[in-house]
Structure 1
């Protein structure tokens, strides 16, 4: 169907990350009535891997007086840094995409978007089709960031506000997050397939909707709706039952297998209807959609370089089986900046695990740690940037089997000294630690795979802001454009922008309820009646809680009254609030009353973020489930109808 037609555009979410199921594009293209498919094969971690790899390749070529651009295409392919597994998903779908005229816009190019686009074009031609391919330029910012730093730009961290000049790491790569209007322009020019390197996760959906409905950059409410639609489907099955706190409902109904991929219909006003693949598991419910809405947001304003979505007034309504309607989203002008992720080489990382069981676990851990520290000695200990001894789990009395009674004692190390974390070095961390093993505590055992004990390079991630005026956002058409059009098209930075404060609005409940009015209480886990989801943005962790409808909205009144900033800190516990030596944890709070949700942002809670995190919950996904298992005083009458 041609652009400009006012029926809703149907956008299929075909991948939520590099680990998603290979069948997605081909299944949706063959079996579903969709106009555009979008997908994401990247992440902050993958961008660091590809970006640092690209810089190594360029450095190696430079040492040989060569340039990447002068290599022939097959040579470029051999070292290209794009999401290789995208091709595994794309190739089986070519026939259906071509036959049914479905557009495809994806985040998969990483640090070699042009090479991937040409590879896609090659595979399409090999199949005998003439699908038009375009690619998006502008996200690569390594040289620009280095230049700006030399000119005095401070690139204050979005996580903790420190200046990049205070960062001890060597910058290896930087990529910024582009919006979706470049994708819209590529589709407008006739592209069938658009390959992006690092657009924001929701940007392909913005691009699809803006193209279809012929929106321009001034239609903020509409663009904001598309932004939220993109957010809802960007992680594929997360919105169709995956990661849902009420997952037991799926188990009981036998719907937990082959969870369907989502489809977002976006109408000309930016309102959204979420459905899923036919004849698949999973569900589309208010629970599943609310859960994904709360994932990885950072406050009432959801930023994108095309538009800002105001979330406090959002409505989510069940309108049919596996069909949910989302409305009430307002759009604000975008900031004049966009996020830039800067990766720095931080050194080497290694870990190994000792397994313990039985009585006196605390003392066994103490003995092992003190022996290891003693053998390493003061001089070696000074060489670690991070050395942590972590006891994880308990060994219950009368456990039903030995595995359940086994505790994981984890020794985690990071250092700038490569030789210190070389496991073959007799004077290194691992070998020195191992001299203690035969004089350790009773039962101490090692796993049978020690590969993690070998030092591997690790990186730190520094998210900051970059003026959009510094971004050369361009569309490249790998086909002959219509008369009067260019093959390389500049995508201008937005002219209507707004200064948004780094600190988002944060507030406690207005007019809180009197808790005694809810009657007699019992002590029980918060998650008995409360759902939610948590996630990460670099080292920030977000946690959103919500409840289902109730008589006179008493559950909502109780939730918004109980869950204060102080209460969240109490539930986290002192070790979490003060971990990494912080005097206090900074927490923001806001509410979405129409969906009965309270959201918290735990600032800089994830130890520098995924690339360098020393804790188990590197992506913040377990934080919410940890909090749901903490006990609170629950009104007895709630348990009669609200138990999950």
Structure 2
């Protein structure tokens, strides 16, 4: 067991926190890679919103599961290196069964003969208490749960970082968490290291911002980055590190041996990812990003300053999942000439086949477009994806849906070929709500089973409202323009929160005034047809030279059940960067 008091704390040096995972199936070597150099703490984030669906399905098959088994493989591979480094490990891989994963981690440690202490956090699971929580309403739509027709099988509240801080202070080498916020893993570790109090709003807010940058692993070192063609060793990206000082300012970096890069652009991309505007709510602090500033202080070292904090809201998000029926999908392909007529004929057949079925969702999505004078068969093809959902399995099974679709092979349009992609896959609906923090029973469970209540933040305020910047300024006079892709001037990154898509664009300094004038709310509607009739919030972050949009309801019911080919809207920003706008020639 390592000393619970960091030896360098008296010097108040920054704590060095590495990330080893950004989702359930991040690469196997992640933990070993994060330990490639000196670090104080390693964090791993495994719980994207759709992940709850996967863990719920696994637990339904085997009650002993419900945690991220991929983490256990990573841990078994690298536990010796973890002990050698003397680093702590904090992960949310416990998912729906943190106690079960903690026991498995102890088994692995015992098998290796190491002396490491494991604790886990509980208190997020409210599934047995839903009847006592009052009228729960959907976070985005306001629809009462009682009117939804859903019967949740999981209900997990987002916990903050103080349970993690308490477990580390009590000597835990490994802390297994359930549904904490993504940032809580890093915030709890930083609060432990620097001995922050629950009302240290500024430092806590800075730690949340740094945590948000590193929580998705190699996305901060060049992954999912619109400037990827300039990233060195882009096929071998390393994992990021946050060096968080006592005042909450942070430097984002990586191990020297790791591939990728850390620049103001890669950090901006991650700061803009999956936020809901400049005001970022967390269980431990409300984070204000209005004045955040990034500075490249050295190669692969970006400093984050200007983040401020205020008391957190009195509520936290409750993520519920419920059985939503079944989904089947069939991919058709149309090639060459008369494409519109071919797709129209296919739609006629789809309408005929599904006319008597009781479907809750039916989508026909066209993916790609043939090029003129195609050099090969595949350049002449378009995929037409037909997706159906029903609460009743038989309505989308092989007999009633898939077989009639594949039966179009002969009577369909010329050149038709078809592939069933999914048959009766379970749909799990995601339902977010808010619950008062006071209903949580947040505890740390030690190695001997002792349960220690977590001291929570005593000061809370009503949730801070966003301040949209809907009015774009007049465009600057930069001379002649020509139509060109938006992406030649602006980077972009998008993410998802339930049914909402958040999309951020940023540009170099000389293009900032043009970007903020060009990307108005109405311009976004014109560029993005799916957003024509939905609510859009627009925000500006001048310190990042960024315009950020929250596009409501464009992702349907969320990634776990919307049936879209791009379920989480990960490619929306790249689509918009490909759209043509009038660009001043001097910026090109």
TM-score bucket (shorter structure): over 0.9
Number of residue pairs aligned between Structure 1 and Structure 2: 582
Question: 2 CA distance for matches of 1:557 and 1:436?
Answer: 53
Check if 1:170 corresponds to 2:167. Answer: no
Displacement of 1:123 in angstroms is: 1.3
**Unmatched segments (≥5 aa) in structure 2:** 1-5
Q: In 2 relative to 1, CA 412–95 (structure 1 residues): closer, same or farther, beyond 3 Å?
A: same
The within-5 A match list for 1:66-105 is 79-105=64-90
- Contact kept? 2:242, 2:250, Cα under 8 Å: yes
Question: 2 CA distance for matches of 1:260 and 1:318?
Answer: 18
Displacement of 1:362 in angstroms is: 1.1
Displacement of 1:42 in angstroms is: 2.2
Question: 2 CA distance for matches of 1:256 and 1:375?
Answer: 46
Question: 1 CA distance for matches of 2:56 and 2:27?
Answer: 24
- Contact kept? 2:163, 2:454, Cα under 8 Å: yes
* Cα deviation digits, residues 10-45 of structure 1 (max 9, x gap): 00011111221211212332x311100001122212
Displacement of 1:205 in angstroms is: 0.4
- Contact kept? 2:555, 2:567, Cα under 8 Å: yes
SS of match in other structure, 1:436: helix
Choose the corresponding residue for 1:134, options 119, 137, 159.
119
Question: 1 CA distance for matches of 2:77 and 2:346?
Answer: 53
- 1:258 maps to 236
- 2:3 maps to none
- 2:466 maps to 504
Check if 1:468 corresponds to 2:437. Answer: yes
* Cα deviation digits, residues 95-119 of structure 1 (max 9, x gap): 1222221100001001110111111
Q: In 2 relative to 1, CA 292–223 (structure 1 residues): closer, same or farther, beyond 3 Å?
A: same
- 1:379 maps to 356
Question: 1 CA distance for matches of 2:496 and 2:209?
Answer: 17
Displacement of 1:432 in angstroms is: 2.9
SS of match in other structure, 2:152: strand
Choose the corresponding residue for 2:498, options 538, 543, 546.
538
Displacement of 1:182 in angstroms is: 0.6
Q: In 2 relative to 1, CA 375–112 (structure 1 residues): closer, same or farther, beyond 3 Å?
A: closer
SS of match in other structure, 1:544: strand
- Contact kept? 1:542, 1:620, Cα under 8 Å: no
Question: 2 CA distance for matches of 1:163 and 1:242?
Answer: 38
Q: Which moved more, 1:263-272 or 1:115-124?
A: 115-124
Choose the corresponding residue for 1:548, options 504, 508, 521.
508
- 2:59 maps to 54
Question: 2 CA distance for matches of 1:135 and 1:412?
Answer: 40
* Cα deviation digits, residues 479-508 of structure 1 (max 9, x gap): 59xxxxxx311013322001015x622123
Displacement of 1:257 in angstroms is: 2.1
- 1:25 maps to 31
Question: 2 CA distance for matches of 1:21 and 1:375?
Answer: 42
- 1:323 maps to 301
- Contact kept? 1:3, 1:214, Cα under 8 Å: no
Check if 1:117 corresponds to 2:79. Answer: no
- 2:566 maps to 617
Question: 2 CA distance for matches of 1:272 and 1:23?
Answer: 26
Check if 1:441 corresponds to 2:416. Answer: no
Choose the corresponding residue for 1:108, options 93, 98, 104.
93
- Contact kept? 1:609, 1:619, Cα under 8 Å: yes
Choose the corresponding residue for 1:237, options 201, 204, 218.
218
Displacement of 1:375 in angstroms is: 4.1
- Contact kept? 1:14, 1:39, Cα under 8 Å: yes
Check if 1:592 corresponds to 2:553. Answer: no
Question: 2 CA distance for matches of 1:244 and 1:372?
Answer: 38
Question: 2 CA distance for matches of 1:95 and 1:414?
Answer: 47
Displacement of 1:3 in angstroms is: 7.0
- 1:282 maps to 260
Question: 1 CA distance for matches of 2:418 and 2:583?
Answer: 43
Question: 2 CA distance for matches of 1:508 and 1:242?
Answer: 30
Q: Which moved more, 1:604-613 or 1:210-219?
A: 604-613
Question: 2 CA distance for matches of 1:375 and 1:384?
Answer: 12
Q: In 2 relative to 1, CA 39–375 (structure 1 residues): closer, same or farther, beyond 3 Å?
A: closer
- 1:525 maps to 485
- 1:247 maps to 228
Choose the corresponding residue for 1:567, options 523, 535, 543.
523
Check if 1:336 corresponds to 2:336. Answer: no
**Unmatched segments (≥5 aa) in structure 1:** 59-78, 481-486, 579-583, 640-644
Question: 2 CA distance for matches of 1:514 and 1:298?
Answer: 26
- Contact kept? 1:45, 1:611, Cα under 8 Å: yes
The within-5 A match list for 1:392-403 is 392-403=367-378
- Contact kept? 1:10, 1:265, Cα under 8 Å: yes
* Cα deviation digits, residues 277-335 of structure 1 (max 9, x gap): 22222100011000110000011111110111100100100000111000100011011
* Cα deviation digits, residues 194-226 of structure 1 (max 9, x gap): 000111111110011000000010100000111
The within-5 A match list for 1:189-228 is 189-228=170-209
Question: 2 CA distance for matches of 1:598 and 1:230?
Answer: 21
Question: 2 CA distance for matches of 1:3 and 1:138?
Answer: 32
- 2:162 maps to 181
- Contact kept? 1:534, 1:622, Cα under 8 Å: yes
* Cα deviation digits, residues 399-436 of structure 1 (max 9, x gap): 1111111111111100112112220x3xx112233443
Whichever of the two has the greater Rg, that structure is 1
Displacement of 1:4 in angstroms is: 3.8
Choose the corresponding residue for 2:250, options 272, 280, 283.
272
Q: Which moved more, 1:97-106 or 1:7-16?
A: 97-106
Question: 2 CA distance for matches of 1:341 and 1:3?
Answer: 39
Check if 1:389 corresponds to 2:364. Answer: yes
Check if 1:357 corresponds to 2:335. Answer: yes
- Contact kept? 1:346, 1:416, Cα under 8 Å: yes
SS of match in other structure, 2:379: coil
Choose the corresponding residue for 1:8, options 14, 17, 23.
14
